[in-house]
Amino acid sequence: MSTEPIFQLTVSPDFTPAHISGWYIFNTWLQRNLNVRAHCELYDDFESQRQAIRDDRVDLIYANPFDAAMLVREKNFTAIAKAIGVTDECVIAVAAESSIQHLEDLKPGARLAKTDDPDINLIGMIMLESVDLNDDSVEPVVVDSYVLVAKALLRGTADIGFFLKDSCDEFSGAIRKQLRPLVHSQIGDIQHILLASPRLVAHSASLRHALAEMPNNPQGNSVLESLGFMGWQLLEQEDTEFMIDMIDTLKAK
């Protein structure tokens, strides 16, 4: 029996379903390249993942920026990298034939379809704030995926929907034609990040090196392809501290 630790890799529960297998492939790549034992655990929702973090079960996490504050400032995680070629921008859309042309047309009581993705919901609510709507004046319709947000708009069970911009790119042409964007965020500085626990920190230099090298070898490239990333940009701790400060300003009421 080996007494080596088994590190736990996990991914923010808002990962795109098309990339689930990509994260298992990444886990295999991780074990080979760091010469460690690792296990990929995917949680169904943010709350169960946060519980695992509180219980110190997580060692490497591709984290939602909303959770970065807890990971870095309470759990001493270290910033490793962010993915190139993906963004965390929010689109607010309506059904193509909706009478709503501008955010200003929305009235209190508007039905808002959304997932439980915390950073997209935060950014979406900030855009609604500019027309005096807030959590108390919209009626939430919470669904499990962005496809279901689209369906809620098409069926007329919601007036507006929050989407992760990248998820819209994966919709079929038929769905996309029936949706009309009203506004989209262009923030740029807020993104999912890969963070390592204090337990894993001894491996962080080799992890960074291996991540940076990924696009330069066929094996790494095929892992990136299955994740839908173009590569990794290594992060300094201060980059992440800055992002957390920004999110703190957005969360503050």
* Residue ranges in contact with other proteins by CB under 8 A: 126-127, 129-132, 183-189, 241-242, 245-246, 248-250, 252
Q: Strand, helix or coil at 156? A: coil
Cα gap 87→192, rounded to integer Å: 8
* Among candidate residues 127, 162, 171, the one with its CA nearest the CA of residue 142: 162
CB of 238 to other proteins, least distance (A): 8
Q: Which is nearer to other proteins, 149 or 243 (CB)?
A: 243
Of 126 and 202, nearer to other proteins (C-beta) is 126
As measured in angstroms, the least distance from the Cβ of 127 to other proteins is 6
Nearest distance, CB of residue 189 and other proteins, angstroms: 7
Decide whether 190 or 195 has the Cβ nearer to other proteins. 190
User: In the complex with other proteins, which residue's Cβ is closer, 41 or 239?
Assistant: 239
* Separation in Å, CA 70 to CA 13, 50, 64, 228: 16, 9, 11, 26
User: Rounded to the nearest 10 degrees, how much is the dihedral formed by the CA atoms of 206, 218, 6, 49?
Assistant: 100
Tell me whether residue 27 or residue 64 sits nearer to other proteins (CB atom).
Answer: 64
Amino acid in position 93: A
Residue 159 DSSP symbol: S
Smallest distance, other proteins to C-beta of residue 195, A: 17
Rg (CA), the chain: 19
**Least distance between other proteins and beta carbon 144 (Å):** 26
Distance of closest approach, residue 1 Cβ to other proteins, in angstroms: 41
**Nearer to other proteins (CB atom), residue 48 or residue 130:** 130
Query: What is the DSSP secondary-structure string of 95-149?
Result: ETT-S--SGGG--TTEEEEE-S-HHHHHHHHHHHHTTT--TTTEEEEE-SSHHHH
Give me the sign of the Cα torsion angle 165, 92, 146, 247: positive
